[in-house]
Chains A and B, each alone.
Chain A
Amino acid sequence: MTSTSPTETHVAPQADHGDPARSWLARIAEGRAWLFLAGLIICFEVWSRLSFGATFVLNPFNVQSIAIFAVAPLLLATGQTFVIISGGIDLSLGFIMGLAAVVAAHATNMAGVAMPVPLAMMLGILAAVLVAGVPGLINGLLISRLRIPPFIGTLGMFGVARGAAFLLAGGTTVPVQNSWFALLGNGRLYGVPYLVIIAAVFVVVMHYILSQTRFGQHNYAIGANVQAARRAGIDIRGHILRLYVLSAMCAGLGGALYAARFTAGAAQAGEPLLLDSVAAVVIGGASLFGGSGTIFGTVAGALVIAVIQYGLVFVNVEPFWQFIAVGLVIIISVLIDQAQRRFSGARQDE
């Protein structure tokens, strides 16, 4: 921390001028999540070698499994990152994903009757994403027009989407009859699963939107100071509306990919993933009070959770320990974050 006198003038040494996603606090938080991930992998590596004499991370099968395992929670978490940075939260994402998975299965099957297999697959995915946008739109309207707090509005939608998903699925899972869809969910390109490739491209696009567009910039501003954003002439209502549609569509894509991976749509597909998505965002360094967070931080957060869950199974620990471990990691992340903010809270000239 250097003090700034009024006569002091220098150019910022960094190349990235004022990118909130790259501000030093965010950089530390994001870096911390990646560091944590590295530490975690080393722990499991040592554990695995000592217990079984086998490598953990150098086994490509493990890496692949973890990556596939992380895809769905990551898709939910990228949407959740946007929402949490804006100062909100989206509790409906899990069942929107389930709804989308069921829609993807039904739509692909129905389209498959009348058209070629690849086209039916694409139509199924498109239908899943678009249908997911509907509850997102309702969330956005409730929150922006009727001023319902995000926690309550999306909690209501959590129930509605859940019921709708189960009704649409007829209370069971809906199998998908489409060879391309199955290939998408389980095939590989040069050894890399298609699902992982899709998720990687998606993450890059979302990072671009958050860090390089006006939408992203306004999202940070709204999360930090909605009053200031309004006074600056930002259309808050329109932004919030688009925001919840975006997060719901992320869940929609997650649902479609779920249906591809398991060649079936299930209403409960995203049920355990909602809290994982919030956890990934928090572990990734975002503040639940809004205004900070990055997509790549969230990627690290999602991988941390996936490594814990997969790693504990790999070293043969009872699966229930996963919940405890993830829970502890969340609490520790928030504690470190708070300590850091307190430490850096002192302003330059005060």
Chain B
Amino acid sequence: MNSSEQTTPLLEVRHLSKHFGAVQALNDFSMAVRPGEVVALAGDNGAGKTTLIKAISGVFQPTGGEILLRGQPVTFATPQEAREKGIETIYQDLALADNLSIGANIFLGREPMRKAFGFLPVLDRKAMAVAAKQTMGRLDFHVSRLDAPVSNFSGGQRQAVAIGRAVYWDAQILIMDEPTAALGVPEQRKVISLIHQLKAQGRGVIFISHNLQDIFAVSDRIVVLRRGVQAGERKISETNHDEVVKLMVGG
């Protein structure tokens, strides 16, 4: 990677707008995520965070503005297309099939097959388990019992599986929607350390949270949304809780 690529953002959003009928959910919003950068997205309920990530992840098309991936303008007709381009959204819930193993969840919808007896196609569970073990290892997250359904694991471990799936499929940009919301404190720390791992691997992370503690623990920058517009953008090292809260509520 040369120095000019280093400065090209992985993901850039320019003048993005989205309205639903007369409701302007997002208005002329711009932001960028660089490799190895964690950008926190903060804002009150209804500020437009969800609208923004849905536009980026291809759930719906923006009304105006553009999305650039490594400097190239892109449009996504479906979430599938966004995922193929390396943008993965990790939802706090509803992301895993609880009755399947880690490997089966990582490969859900794209299961590897092998030939049994030389002709009969069967699911390659061994390959799935090996990939699961390696991927979770890359996240410094070691679980025993790779054949157990993920319902046996804790909330933090399940979050790690969801992140592991994105990592395995080589997502370059991970959008994490409240990844720590449903977790206990030790589990929250695990997820925060996972995000540090992603950062170290040069991926870009958009981190959405209500928890300023978590935001300050893991982010490089924070972008605040208020009523669909960008209310401010700060480097974490140059701001504090008070200032962020003021930006959020419009003090």
Residues of chain A whose beta carbon lies under 8 Å from any beta carbon of chain B: 2, 4, 6-12, 14, 16-20, 22-25, 208, 212-214, 217-218, 220-221, 223-225, 227-229, 231-234, 291-292, 347-350
8 pairs of A and B residues whose beta carbons are closest in the complex: A18-B101, A17-B129, A349-B154, A232-B109, A221-B97, A232-B108, A17-B125, A212-B122
Selected contact of A221 from candidates B108, B121, B142, CB within 8 Å: B108
Kindly list chain B residues whose C-beta atoms are within 8 Å of the C-beta of A217. 100, 104, 108, 111, 123
Residues of chain B whose beta carbon lies under 8 Å from any beta carbon of chain A: 79-80, 83, 91, 94-104, 108-111, 113, 116, 120-123, 125-126, 128-129, 132-133, 137, 140-149, 151-157, 184, 187, 190
Kindly list chain B residues whose C-beta atoms are within 8 Å of the C-beta of A6. 140-142, 190
Kindly list chain A residues whose C-beta atoms are within 8 Å of the C-beta of B108. 217-218, 221, 228-229, 232, 234
Number of residue pairs across A and B with beta carbons under 8 Å?
146
B79–A231 touching, CB < 8 Å:
yes
A18–B128 touching, CB < 8 Å:
yes
Kindly list chain A residues whose C-beta atoms are within 8 Å of the C-beta of B132. 18
CA distance A44 to B83 in the complex (A): 59
Apart from A18-B101, A231-B94, A291-B99, what are 4 other A-B pairs with CB-CB below 8 Å? A12-B148, A212-B122, A214-B111, A228-B94
CA distance A25 to B79 in the complex (A): 34
Selected contact of A4 from candidates B126, B137, B143, CB within 8 Å: B143
CA distance A30 to B184 in the complex (A): 35
Kindly list chain B residues whose C-beta atoms are within 8 Å of the C-beta of A22. 147
A231–B95 touching, CB < 8 Å:
yes
B100–A18 touching, CB < 8 Å:
yes
**Interface pairs (23), CB distance under 8 Å:** A4-B145, A4-B157, A6-B141, A12-B144, A12-B146, A16-B125, A17-B103, A17-B128, A18-B100, A18-B103, A18-B128, A18-B146, A18-B148, A18-B149, A19-B123, A25-B149, A212-B123, A217-B100, A218-B108, A224-B98, A348-B157, A349-B154, A349-B156
Selected contact of B96 from candidates A4, A20, A225, A347, CB within 8 Å: A225
Kindly list chain B residues whose C-beta atoms are within 8 Å of the C-beta of A233. 80, 83, 109-110
Kindly list chain B residues whose C-beta atoms are within 8 Å of the C-beta of A24. 148
Instruction: Give A231 Cβ to nearest chain B Cβ, in Å.
Output: 7
